[in-house]
A and B are shown apart, each in its own frame.
Chain A
Amino acid sequence: MDLGKFEEDNSQSCRLSSAVPEVCKTQDCCLGIDEAGRGPVLGPMVYGICYCPISKKTDLQDLKVADSKTLSEAERENLFGQLEEANGYVGWALHILSPNTISTGMLQRAKYNLNALSHDAAIGLVQYALDCGVQVKELFVDTVGPAEKYQEKLSQRFPGIVVTVRPKADSLFPIVSAASICAKVSRDRVVKSWKFVEDLGEVDTDYGSGYPNDPKTKAWLAKYLDPVFGYPQFVRFSWSTAQTIMESKAVPVHWDDDEQDGEKAAAKQNCASMLSYFSRKKPESAGREPHRYFAERRLETVENL
């Protein structure tokens, strides 16, 4: 697996894929989808698909691919090697969602939440397989959110394909297990060899699993907080772990879509809250209102410097 394409610019998302085996273009195929790195505060989330002809399902089972979570890293690497050797009938594709994509998506004005991001990544990969000529007839997916809704969404999106959405699909269907191995292996490699675009000097790469409850991850987050910028792009800013630290330790930053309610917001926006109508106050400025030329351009007189 060549991660070069992603490492070139790890602020963007990127798709990696194997060559499409010829049999997959002629025979009916099954396709499994799984993801790795949904929970961690560090690193990318990787979506993986694996596909093979339905007739070759047993061959896949013989490789003893299993849920990636039950395997050690070495076992996963070994199995991925076997999947690559089986390239005569097994194909895969990956969509690496960079932590930056996740942060900016979830924190933008029109929120793009993780579930929507996940669904779109999965749909994109299936469409990619179809575009490559893979004869997908069966689709197996580990669920994200309510299984029924997701199944309905995928069935509508891909008419003619039998969609099966199940929780724990990665331990039920070998093709999903294979997809989970591809996703997990690539995420491990990306995280291990993360190239920081930021100039951090010698970076301490001992950040543990990247999950919020890992003490090593916590220590790393505490160490690499910049009071102004927060974190390198390696960190998912949208995670409450990161946000809590930034709120308490970093410089406060206010955005004009900050959600605040009540009097605080009213005071900030300089609009009168209901309460102010009941208190008798001297009008704030005895002077004239600035002409609208200045008001519209937000130009004001400078009183001191």
Chain B
Amino acid sequence: MSCKLGDRGSYIRSANFESYSTFASLPDVGSLYLFGGGDLQLYEVKAFNEDYHSWFIGQTVQRDGRLLYVTPMDPLYLLLPYLLKAGKEGKFQPVDQIVVDEEFPGCRRVLSCARALKSLGHVAEEREVGSQKFHRYSQEKTMVWLKKKVDRTVKALKNSKICVGGGVKSSTFFRTTQQSDVQEEDYIRYAHGLISEYIPEELCKELLTYLQLPETTSPVSVEPPIKKRKLSDKPVEAEEDYTKFNSGDLGKKPVKKLTAAQKTLAKVDKTGMKSLSAFFSPKAKTEKK
């Protein structure tokens, strides 16, 4: 079977796409995966997609400037949500009963991927009765497995000099030199974030605890809720009465100490000078006459 890629007219032979949800919790969001080599290999499909891009391909124009990446993927990530779901029942079950999805019937094909069945042991306890195998999701095993994934990712991040520090925000600017203040924890946290893209949300938090990473306080400051004015029938009164300071009894106010500059200014001869407020008051009408 072959599948057309965009309008390019080139084909990926002996491979086809299957829509399939990674997250059992979000059944309406399907992602695209590619099976290759007679379903032995699993690939995920990612697209580089930025505004204002188009392609010139041969003698044609492709308005969508996307660049598709087809990269190998561990099939276990796709099986994990089903195991997790079935694991809630707490029973040992044959794989055929675990990996069932009405929404995405293609999920069964994942089982035929190389090492898919063998690797189930990383996240589930296995029991063999006769010729049949039964599995039950195991949280401990999964955490051990995910930790290994995180460690490998950290290694890969370091090797490819990915900047994991907090500084980078721009999409076009990448630091070429490693920041010196980047700590091991930053790498682990970054790797955890990457792995979290592939596992159900409930496992992300578990993994965070397992990795002994303290939960970060969100830097986004939550705005305080707008104070609601109490509605009542009583007439509104000002909380403070500012008018009392304007009344004549200025003498009661404590005399402020003047700065040196203010003192010298006070000594200046002000005869013939207008006060500042004079500039804002309407001109005296007598002058006009």
Is the A/B pair a real complex? yes
A296 at the interface (CB under 8 A from B): yes
B114 at the interface (CB under 8 A from A): no
Contact call A296/B26, Cβ cutoff below 8 A? no
Q: Which residues of A, 285-305, contact B by the 8 Å Cβ criterion? A: 286-288, 290-305
Q: Which chain A residues lie closer than 8 Å to B45 at the CB level? A: 301-302, 305
Size class of the contact patch on chain A: 20 to 34
Interface segment, one of B75-83, B189-197, B248-256, B267-275:
B189-197
Contact call B3/A305, Cβ cutoff below 8 A? yes
With the chains together, A288 CA to B197 CA distance in Å? 9
Chain A at the B interface: SS class: loop
B137 at the interface (CB under 8 A from A): no
Contact call A288/B201, Cβ cutoff below 8 A? yes
With the chains together, A296 CA to B197 CA distance in Å? 14
Contact call B194/A299, Cβ cutoff below 8 A? no
With the chains together, A274 CA to B190 CA distance in Å? 34
B49 at the interface (CB under 8 A from A): yes
With the chains together, A298 CA to B48 CA distance in Å? 5
With the chains together, A73 CA to B57 CA distance in Å? 46
Interface segment, one of B27-35, B231-239, B257-265:
B27-35
Contact call B51/A256, Cβ cutoff below 8 A? yes
A71 at the interface (CB under 8 A from B): no
With the chains together, A288 CA to B196 CA distance in Å? 10
Contact of B46 among A228, A292, A299 (CB under 8 A): A299
Contact call A293/B190, Cβ cutoff below 8 A? yes
Closest A residue to B23 by beta carbon equals A287
A255 at the interface (CB under 8 A from B): yes
A254 at the interface (CB under 8 A from B): yes
Q: Which chain B residues lie closer than 8 Å to A288 at the CB level? A: 196, 201
**Pair count A-B, CB < 8 A:** 69
With the chains together, A256 CA to B26 CA distance in Å? 34
Contact call A291/B196, Cβ cutoff below 8 A? yes
With the chains together, A163 CA to B193 CA distance in Å? 69
Among B23, B29, B68, B201, which residue has the most Cβ atoms of chain A within 10 A?
B29
Q: Decide yes or no: A297 and B48 within 8 Å by CB, A291-B196, A303-B19 being known contacts.
A: yes
Q: Could you tell me the distance in whole angstroms from the C-beta of B63 to the nearest C-beta in chain A?
A: 8
Among A300, A301, A302, which residue has the most Cβ atoms of chain B within 10 A?
A302
Contact call B197/A294, Cβ cutoff below 8 A? yes
B5 at the interface (CB under 8 A from A): yes
Among A268, A288, A294, A305, which residue has the most Cβ atoms of chain B within 10 A?
A305
With the chains together, A186 CA to B226 CA distance in Å? 72
Size class of the contact patch on chain B: 20 to 34
Q: Which chain B residues lie closer than 8 Å to A300 at the CB level? A: 46-47, 49
Q: Which residues of B, 19-64, contact A by the 8 Å Cβ criterion? A: 19, 23, 26, 29-32, 45-52, 61
Q: Which chain A residues lie closer than 8 Å to B170 at the CB level? A: 296
Closest B residue to A296 by beta carbon equals B171
With the chains together, A304 CA to B30 CA distance in Å? 8
B168 at the interface (CB under 8 A from A): yes
Contact call B201/A302, Cβ cutoff below 8 A? no
Q: Could you tell me the distance in whole angstroms from the C-beta of A228 to the nearest C-beta in chain B?
A: 6
Q: Could you tell me the distance in whole angstroms from the C-beta of B105 to the nearest C-beta in chain A?
A: 17
Q: Which chain B residues lie closer than 8 Å to A304 at the CB level? A: 19, 30, 32
Q: Which chain B residues lie closer than 8 Å to A269 at the CB level? A: 51
Closest A residue to B28 by beta carbon equals A286
Q: Could you tell me the distance in whole angstroms from the C-beta of A256 to the nearest C-beta in chain B?
A: 4
List chain A positions with a Cβ less than 8 A from chain B. Answer: 228, 254-256, 268-269, 286-288, 290-305
Q: Would you give 27 A-B contacts (Cβ < 8 Å), ordered by A?
A: A254-B52, A256-B51, A287-B29, A288-B201, A291-B193, A293-B193, A294-B46, A294-B197, A295-B171, A297-B48, A297-B171, A298-B48, A298-B50, A299-B46, A299-B47, A301-B31, A301-B46, A301-B47, A302-B32, A302-B47, A303-B29, A303-B31, A303-B32, A304-B32, A305-B3, A305-B32, A305-B45
Which 10 residue pairs across A and B have the least CB separation, nearest first? A256-B52, A302-B45, A302-B32, A298-B50, A291-B193, A301-B31, A299-B46, A302-B47, A291-B197, A296-B171
